[in-house]
Chain A
């Protein structure tokens, strides 16, 4: 595709380079757009929820109801239903996780911001490390370090020779695959989504500059880009949900006694 288009007028298709935004102030790496967006998300989320929860009324206002709905979703549908009776300890973490990821994802389609922060892999890495540390810490505290390792490496109720296969797989699952898939799933979805939008919007824009035949095609590219924006919104919400749900599941597994 890039060859086809660049052959005509030198169109540069969007690439991974479009995610490497330069610092706003000089060479300071702390002044890039993703970093500003992350701080913005902290401000937006805290302001919204503090305003919504400040009065804690029995009969909620519209604002409190909106905030409560999101909180209750994480608290009841994610934490309580997945983790069980000890869920309340993990609600603050899961709530922060969900709102933080959701806000940063939605930045991808908010006009003027239009950059999903989670398409910068560092942020999903950080979140995955948090989850990784928490669920291992909970498991070790709940079961003790040796029983926990034993449970991972020698799953009960399995014929001994199978351990040759199973033990490496289980170890890899708990210590490599879980954090890696958690972060890469989020990152890749946001990355690919943003790339798709770039292709259709920039492509449509480029077609508009072409000959009359190409100009006629251009609206279709834009229309598709708009359609994809709605699709992206769905993916952004879904990914925030999945990340939080998996974290809750890992914590639930850490608290669960031997099967």
Chain B
């Protein structure tokens, strides 16, 4: 049997493994084409879709993160500049307030001094007037009293010391009674 096979091979008959078979050629062609069509239409596009989506998911995520970071930086710069503006503003307002406050205090002091001066002057004038009035009335009264006293003294006996003293006392008592 072994010899028969060997002789077959040597003779290059059906056993020659290099000679193709028509049926196998046809089947190989059809089977391979079929597989090619299936893989090309069903499998390759789906895998490519998955790859593309994955790439997109990864690079899209990075892009979004970068965008968010850029926005955050812009916002930070904006807030920083606003903050420094506000600080400058506050400084200016404080400065103005200080100046205004100083002005107000100065005004008030001036007014108070004026008022004080005015009140003092009024008081001085009033005192002077009252003094003049007192002097005038005193002068009148003293005159009257002196005249009255003189007349009374003259009316009594002026030589008697006791009597004279009594007259004076009575005059003063009358004076007090008349008040």
A residues at B contact (CB < 8 Å): 2-3, 6, 10-13, 15-17, 19-20, 29-30, 32, 34-35, 38-39, 41-42, 45-46, 49-50, 52-54, 56-58, 60, 64, 67-68, 71-72, 75, 91-93, 95-96, 99-100, 119-123, 125-127, 130, 184, 187, 191
A19 to chain B, nearest CB (A): 6
Instruction: Assess whether B43 is in contact with A50, with CB atoms less than 8 Å apart.
Output: yes
7 contacts between A and B (CB under 8 A): A10-B1, A16-B9, A42-B31, A42-B34, A92-B40, A96-B40, A187-B17
The 6 closest A-B pairs by CB, nearest first: A122-B24, A53-B46, A92-B40, A126-B28, A122-B20, A29-B23
Residue of A13, A46, A64 most packed against chain B (CB within 10 A): A46
**Which residues of chain A have C-beta atoms less than 8 A from B43's C-beta?**
46, 49-50, 52-53, 67, 71, 95
Instruction: Assess whether A15 is in contact with B5, with CB atoms less than 8 Å apart.
Output: yes
Query: C-beta contact mask, B1-29 vs A, less than 8 Å → 1, else 0?
Result: 11001101100001111111111110111
Instruction: Assess whether B32 is in contact with A127, with CB atoms less than 8 Å apart.
Output: yes
Q: In the bound complex, how far is the Cα of B29 from the Cα of A130, in angstroms?
A: 9
Q: In the bound complex, how far is the Cα of B9 from the Cα of A32, in angstroms?
A: 21
Task: Give the dominant DSSP class at A's interface.
Answer: helix
Instruction: Assess whether B35 is in contact with A53, with CB atoms less than 8 Å apart.
Output: no
Query: C-beta contact mask, B31-54 vs A, less than 8 Å → 1, else 0?
Result: 110111011101110110111011
**Which residues of chain A have C-beta atoms less than 8 A from B28's C-beta?**
38, 122-123, 125-127
**Which residues of chain B have C-beta atoms less than 8 A from A123's C-beta?**
24, 28
Q: In the bound complex, how far is the Cα of B162 from the Cα of A209, in angstroms?
A: 193
Q: In the bound complex, how far is the Cα of B46 from the Cα of A91, in angstroms?
A: 13
Which single member of A6, A72, A75, A126 contacts B25 (CB below 8 Å)?
A126
B residues at A contact (CB < 8 Å): 1-2, 5-6, 8-9, 14-25, 27-29, 31-32, 34-36, 38-40, 42-44, 46-47, 49-51, 53-54, 57
Taking CB as reference atom, which chain A residue is nearest B35?
A42
Instruction: Assess whether B57 is in contact with A58, with CB atoms less than 8 Å apart.
Output: yes
Which single member of B2, B20, B24, B46 contacts A35 (CB below 8 Å)?
B24
Instruction: Assess whether A15 is in contact with B31, with CB atoms less than 8 Å apart.
Output: no
Instruction: Assess whether B47 is in contact with A12, with CB atoms less than 8 Å apart.
Output: no
A227 to chain B, nearest CB (A): 25
Instruction: Assess whether B27 is in contact with A46, with CB atoms less than 8 Å apart.
Output: no
Q: In the bound complex, how far is the Cα of B31 from the Cα of A218, in angstroms?
A: 40
A85 to chain B, nearest CB (A): 16
Instruction: Assess whether B50 is in contact with A92, with CB atoms less than 8 Å apart.
Output: no
**Which residues of chain B have C-beta atoms less than 8 A from A20's C-beta?**
14-15
Instruction: Assess whether A120 is in contact with B21, with CB atoms less than 8 Å apart.
Output: yes
Instruction: Assess whether A17 is in contact with B8, with CB atoms less than 8 Å apart.
Output: yes
Taking CB as reference atom, which chain A residue is nearest B25?
A122
Instruction: Assess whether B32 is in contact with A126, with CB atoms less than 8 Å apart.
Output: yes
Which single member of A15, A53, A130 contacts B47 (CB below 8 Å)?
A53
Instruction: Assess whether A53 is in contact with B15, with CB atoms less than 8 Å apart.
Output: no
Instruction: Assess whether B27 is in contact with A39, with CB atoms less than 8 Å apart.
Output: yes
Q: In the bound complex, how far is the Cα of B102 from the Cα of A6, in angstroms?
A: 131
**Given contact pairs A2-B6, A68-B50, A122-B24, a sample of 6 additional A-B residue pairs in the complex whose CB atoms are under 8 Å apart:** A17-B15, A41-B31, A42-B34, A46-B35, A53-B42, A120-B21
B64 to chain A, nearest CB (A): 16
**Which residues of chain A have C-beta atoms less than 8 A from B23's C-beta?**
29-30, 32, 35
**Which residues of chain A have C-beta atoms less than 8 A from B24's C-beta?**
32, 34-35, 120, 122-123
